[in-house]
């Protein structure tokens, strides 16, 4: 029965193709991709549609419609759109991180002078604590009744050896009797006096078990600062030195040049990348980026650590002044970039591309209600 | 070969008939010669999407590439001007061209010839990438890019000096004096000679390049026709 029906259908189709038209150009079969060139075009009986049958796979091609691949176009569009959104989100993060990094660079430069001051003041204070501890140990040894002293486990190579000739030379009786280490902790600074068998003594200081060093490479920046000193001594020291702003290294202003250039380029990028939105909406992105960078800078500075170097203490204090200055600078130039971005892009396209290729990027004009410039004759 | 386009009324192949934009809507309309039915020649959405995607992609790449080449050329122009101060200007502040080229000091001679060679290449490439513009446009673009970098250099050195004044530290920059700027201007004019000769070479080769391009196009077309004939 089926074979009969098929025969009837084909005979009807052949009857319908009275004019015997053929495909005289390229048309791929939707089933197998075979070129239907030369195949007869007929009108099928049910709907009177023009069709051609593939000689290879027998697939019927509706001549007046597109093959059923159009939903893939929408899928591709969705994939590309999603990829673009992800790229933009990543670009926001990268832009924020760049501004954050540059702000930190500026804070680093600005805090050079203050960190030296802090390190130096702290070293003097540690020395005073150490001397007081030695005095205390001497007093205890004299009375042979230790109050605050306790035997210590700390036995490390001291990078900061302070010898007190007074102790060593005056207490010879004690030298002959005692050999070992005695530690005293005053204001969080542990001073360990080690007496060798030959009678010589070495003194080392530590904060929370970490050896202190006042000078590293001729700089006080990497001095370990105790929390006691930060709580009690830092404020008065800063007041004495004229406040934070007086101790800022003004060289940090140089960082404004790269941050301005980078932010303006980023602004131009955002202006072109956000063609779907108006300029007044597009300016939100540089503001958002700057805000994120500021949050990152501040939150990184607020993260507290048990041990801190002089440079870290100085950075923590100056971040709240220098960080916002740099971020505001980035925001201003980012906004400027957004404002001029599309004009710059239009100029670049106009100058660099021949008129035929400009058409693909005509959205740069049409989005702002402008007409694509007509080519001038040479 | 054109893509197939069948008349919906009489099934005649219309692919070889040119679609003329109609005066009312600007649509590519084809009128069937047999039954006089007017039908619009629409492109397949798949093909339209990918073609426009590729075209836009190529256009963006071209624009960015040309922008980068221009910026690099501007930077090189500025670098050559600064470099030629060491090569062509003697200790009295006078420009000595012949002495530089025939100098016994290998660095000076190599520097002089290097500047000329690279300036020529720069001029050639700039003229080539801006071939769709008039002769003077690439020159203006190149000079603007060079001036842009020169201005950045000059402004930043002045800014550093200003910041140094604020911060009471010694600035490590050495911004040029007015006499140095005058010498730099003269050097720019000197460097323009090889750059412009690069421009002229492109102009001379333009005809032969066009010929070779069309030859290549014809060759490709011939190949495609042969292949199609074999397939059919």
Measured between CB atoms, does A74 come within 8 Å of chain B?
no
Per CB-CB distance under 8 Å, the chain B contacts of A24 are 4, 13, 15-16
| pLDDT at A292 exceeding the cut of 90 | yes
Helix axes A310-352, A284-302, angle to 10 degrees: 160
Q: Which of A134, A144, A143 is nearest to A169 (CA)?
A: A134
**Lookup result for tokens 């002045």:** B158
CB contact at 8 A, B28 and A327 = no
Strand partners of residue A192: A183, A204
- Residues A361 and B58: their CA atoms lie apart, in Å, by 10
DSSP state of B18: -
How would you classify residue A359: left for phi > 0, otherwise alpha for psi between -120 and 50, otherwise beta? alpha
Q: What angle do CA A168, A171, A175 make, to 5 degrees?
A: 75
Give the ipTM of the model, two decimals please: 0.70
Copy the structure tokens of residue A39.
Answer: 């195949």
- Residue A59 predicted with pLDDT over 60: yes
> Higher pLDDT residue, A186 or B8?
B8
Which residues of chain A from 278 to 337 reach within 8 Å of chain B, CB to CB? none
Type and span of the H or E element at A77? helix A70-110
Residue A329: is its pLDDT beyond 90? Answer: yes
| C-alpha–C-alpha distance, residues A323 and A304, integer Å | 18
B132 vs A22: CB contact, 8 Å cut-off? no
Q: Which one of A24, A66, A352 has the shortest CB-CB distance to B67?
A: A352
Using an 8 Å CB-CB cutoff, list chain B residues near A70. 45-46
* HEC profile of B149-205: HHHHHHHHHHHHHHHHHHHCCCCCCCCCCHHHHHHHHHHHHHHHHHHHHHHHHHHHH
Six token digits for residue B232: 């059919």
Residue A301 binned pLDDT confidence (cut-offs 50, 70, 90): confident
A353 and B4: CB-CB below 8 Å? no
A73 and B CB contact within 8 Å: yes
Q: How confident is the model at residue A338 (pLDDT cuts 50, 70, 90)?
A: very high
Distance CA B118, CA B79 (A): 11
Residue A5 or B159, more confident: B159
Looking at CA atoms only, how far is residue A225 from chain B in angstroms?
Answer: 27
The residue among B5, B6, B160 with the most chain A CBs within 10 A of its CB, best to mutate, is B6
Q: Give the Å distances, CA to CA, from A26 to A147, B4, B6, B16, B43.
A: 103, 5, 11, 11, 13
Assess contact for A62 and A74: CB atoms under 8 A.
no
Is B10 in contact with A19 (Cβ distance < 8 A)? Answer: yes
pLDDT of residue A12 exceeding 70: no
| pTM for this prediction | 0.66
Q: Are A20 and A8 in contact (CB under 8 A)?
A: no
- CA-CA distance, A279 to A343, in Å (whole number)? 12
With pLDDT > 90 as the criterion, what percentage of chain A qualifies?
Answer: 21
More confident residue, B192 or A8: B192
For chain A, helix (H) and strand (E) counts, in that order, are: 13, 11
pLDDT top residue among A168 and A302: A302
**A76 interfaces chain B, CB cutoff of 8 Å:** yes
Task: Tell me the percentage of chain A whose pLDDT exceeds 70.
Answer: 74
Picking from A26, A349, A353, the nearest residue to B4 by CB comes out as: A26
* Residue with more model confidence, B47 or A341: A341
Cβ–Cβ below 8 Å for A21 and B1: no
Sign of the alpha-carbon torsion through A154, A160, A166, A169: positive
Chain A nearest C-alpha distance from B98 (Å):
37
- What is the model's pLDDT at position A349? 92
Instruction: Give the mean pLDDT of chain A.
Output: 76
Asked whether the beta carbons of residue B156 and residue A253 sit closer than 8 angstroms, the reply is: no
The length of chain A, given as a count of residues: 378
CA-based nearest distance A195→chain B, Å: 48
Q: Between chains, do A70 and B45 touch, taking CB under 8 Å as contact?
A: yes
Nearest CA in chain A to B45: A70
Interstrand relation of A224-225 and A308-309 (parallel, antiparallel or unpaired) = antiparallel
Q: Return d(Cα A72, Cα A63) in angstroms, integer.
A: 20
- Search chain A and give the residue with CA nearest B136: A378
Cβ separation A352–B45 shorter than 8 A: no
pLDDT of residue A179: 57
Query: Given CA atoms B122, B123, B126, B131 in this order, what sign does their dihedral have?
Result: negative
Predicted confidence (pLDDT) at residue A7 exceeds the cutoff of 60: no
The more confident residue out of B227 and A313 is A313
Measured between CB atoms, which of A23, A69, A353 is closest to B4? A23
**Residue in A111, A119, A180 with CA at minimum distance from that of residue A149:** A180
Spatial CA neighbour of A12 closest among A45, A50, A52: A45
Given the structure tokens 């004096």, which residue do they identify?
Answer: B177
Is the Cβ of A79 closer than 8 Å to some Cβ of chain B? no
Instruction: Show the CA angle centred on residue B45, arms to residues A360 and A32, nearest 5°.
Output: 130
The answer to whether A258 faces chain B, any CB pair under 8 Å, is no
Here the tokens at position A181 are 């280490």
A290 pLDDT exceeds 90?
yes
**Least confident range of A166-180, A364-378, B98-112:** A166-180
Beta-strand runs (E) in A142-198: 150-151, 180-186, 189-195
pLDDT reading at A4 higher than 50: no
pLDDT along chain B (232 residues), means of 10: 80 85 76 86 70 87 93 92 83 78 82 90 91 88 91 81 68 69 85 91 83 83 74 50
The pair of three-digit structure tokens given for residue A75, joined into one six-digit string: 């899928």
Instruction: Write down how long chain B is.
Output: 232
Q: Each residue of A238-286: pLDDT tens digit?
A: 888 877 777 888 888 888 888 999 999 999 999 999 988 887 888 899 9
Q: Which residue, A221, A204, A118, is CA-closest to A159?
A: A204
Using CA atoms, how far apart are residues B217 and A108, in angstroms rounded to an integer?
60
- pLDDT at site B46: 64
Q: What are the chain B neighbours of A349 within 8 Å (beta carbons)?
A: 59, 63
Q: Does A157 touch chain B (CB under 8 A)?
A: no
- Residue B57's alpha-carbon distances to A245, A302, A357, in angstroms, are 51, 45, 10
Nearest to A21 among B5, B12, B16 (CB): B12
Q: Which of A91-100, A224-233, B184-193 has the highest mean pLDDT?
A: A91-100
Find the helix packing angle between B45-88 and B136-167, rounded to 10°. 60
Contact by Cβ (8 Å): A207, A186: no
For A221-231, what is the mean pLDDT?
77
Nearest to A159 by CA among A205, A213, A202: A213
pLDDT at A165 (0 to 100): 38
**Structural contact between residues A276 and A179, judged by C-beta atoms closer than 8 angstroms:** no
Residue A339 banded pLDDT, cuts 50, 70, 90: very high
Which tokens hold the place of A225? 């600062």
Interface of A with B in 1-60 (CB under 8 A): 17, 19, 21-27, 35-38, 41-43, 50
The angle formed by the CA atoms of residues B87, B90 and B91, to the nearest 5 degrees, is 130
Backbone φ, ψ for residue A42 (5° rounding): -125, 165
* Residue of A351, A358, A372 to mutate, testing the B interface (most B Cβ within 10 Å of its Cβ): A351
Give the Cα-Cα-Cα angle B212, B218, B219 (nearest 5 degrees): 90
Task: Sort out which chain A residues have CB atoms less than 8 A from B129's CB and list them.
Answer: 352
Q: What secondary structure letter does DSSP report for A149?
A: -
Q: How far is B48 from chain A (nearest CA, A)?
A: 10
| B56, two tokens | 């836009």
> What is the C-alpha separation between B73 and B122, in angstroms, rounded?
6
Whether the CB-CB separation of A366 and A296 falls below 8 Å is answered with: no
């Amino acid at each position: 029965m089926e074979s009969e029906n098929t025969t009837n259908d084909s005979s009807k189709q052949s009857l319908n193709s009275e004019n015997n038209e053929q495909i005289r150009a390229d048309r791929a079969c939707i089933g197998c991709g075979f070129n239907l060139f030369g195949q007869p075009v007929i009108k099928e009986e049910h709907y009177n549609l023009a069709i051609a049958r593939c000689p290879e796979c027998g697939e019927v091609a509706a001549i007046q419609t597109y093959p059923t691949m159009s939903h893939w176009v929408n899928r591709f569009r969705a994939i590309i759109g999603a990829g673009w959104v992800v790229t933009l989100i990543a670009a926001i993060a990268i832009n924020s991180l760049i501004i954050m990094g540059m702000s930190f660079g500026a804070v680093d430069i600005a805090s050079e002078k203050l960190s030296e001051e802090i390190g130096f003041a702290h070293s003097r204070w540690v020395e005073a604590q150490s001397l007081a501890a030695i005095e205390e140990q001497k007093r205890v040894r004299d009375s042979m009744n230790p109050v605050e002293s306790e035997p210590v486990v700390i036995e490390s190579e001291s990078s900061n050896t302070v010898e007190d000739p007074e102790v060593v030379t005056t207490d010879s009786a004690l030298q002959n009797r005692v050999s070992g280490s005695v530690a005293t902790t005053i204001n969080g600074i542990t001073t360990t006096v080690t007496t060798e068998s030959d009678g010589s003594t070495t003194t080392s200081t530590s904060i929370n078990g970490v050896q202190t060093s006042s000078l590293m490479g001729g700089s006080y920046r990497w001095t370990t600062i105790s929390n006691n000193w930060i709580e009690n001594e830092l404020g008065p020291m800063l007041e004495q030195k004229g406040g934070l702003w007086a101790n800022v290294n003004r060289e940090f202003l140089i960082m404004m040049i790269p941050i301005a250039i980078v932010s303006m380029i980023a602004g131009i990028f955002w202006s072109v990348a956000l063609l779907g939105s108006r300029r007044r909406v597009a300016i939100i992105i540089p503001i958002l980026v700057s805000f994120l960078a500021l949050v990152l800078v501040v939150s990184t500075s607020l993260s507290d650590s048990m041990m801190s170097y002089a440079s870290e203490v100085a950075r923590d204090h100056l971040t709240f002044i220098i960080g916002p200055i740099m971020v505001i600078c980035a925001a201003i130039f980012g906004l400027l970039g957004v404002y001029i971005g599309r004009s710059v892009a239009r100029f670049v396209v106009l100058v660099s591309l021949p008129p035929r290729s400009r058409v693909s990027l005509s959205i740069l004009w049409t989005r702002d209600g402008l007409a694509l410039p007509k080519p001038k004759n040479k | 070969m054109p893509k197939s386009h069948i008349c919906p009324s009489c099934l005649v192949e219309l692919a070889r008939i040119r679609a003329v934009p109609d005066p009312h809507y600007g649509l590519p309309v084809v009128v069937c010669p047999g039954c006089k039915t007017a039908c619009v020649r629409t492109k397949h959405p798949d093909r339209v999407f990918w073609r426009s995607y590729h075209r836009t992609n190529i256009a963006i790449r071209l624009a960015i590439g040309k922008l980068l080449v221009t910026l690099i050329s501007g930077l090189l122009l500025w670098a050559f001007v600064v470099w030629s101060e060491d090569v062509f200007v003697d200790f009295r502040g006078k420009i000595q061209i012949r002495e530089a080229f025939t100098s016994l000091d290998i660095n000076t001679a190599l520097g002089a010839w290097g500047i000329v060679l690279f300036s020529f290449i720069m001029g050639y490439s700039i003229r080539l990438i801006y071939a769709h513009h008039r002769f003077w446009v690439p020159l203006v673009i190149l000079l603007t890019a060079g001036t842009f970098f020169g201005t950045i250099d000059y402004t930043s050195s002045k800014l550093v000096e200003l910041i140094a004044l604020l911060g009471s530290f010694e600035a490590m920059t050495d911004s040029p004096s007015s006499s140095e700027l005058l010498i730099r201007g003269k050097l720019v004019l000197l460097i323009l000679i090889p750059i412009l000769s690069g421009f002229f070479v492109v102009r001379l080769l333009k005809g032969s390049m066009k010929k070779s391009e069309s030859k290549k196009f014809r060759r490709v077309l011939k190949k495609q026709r042969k292949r199609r004939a074999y397939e059919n």
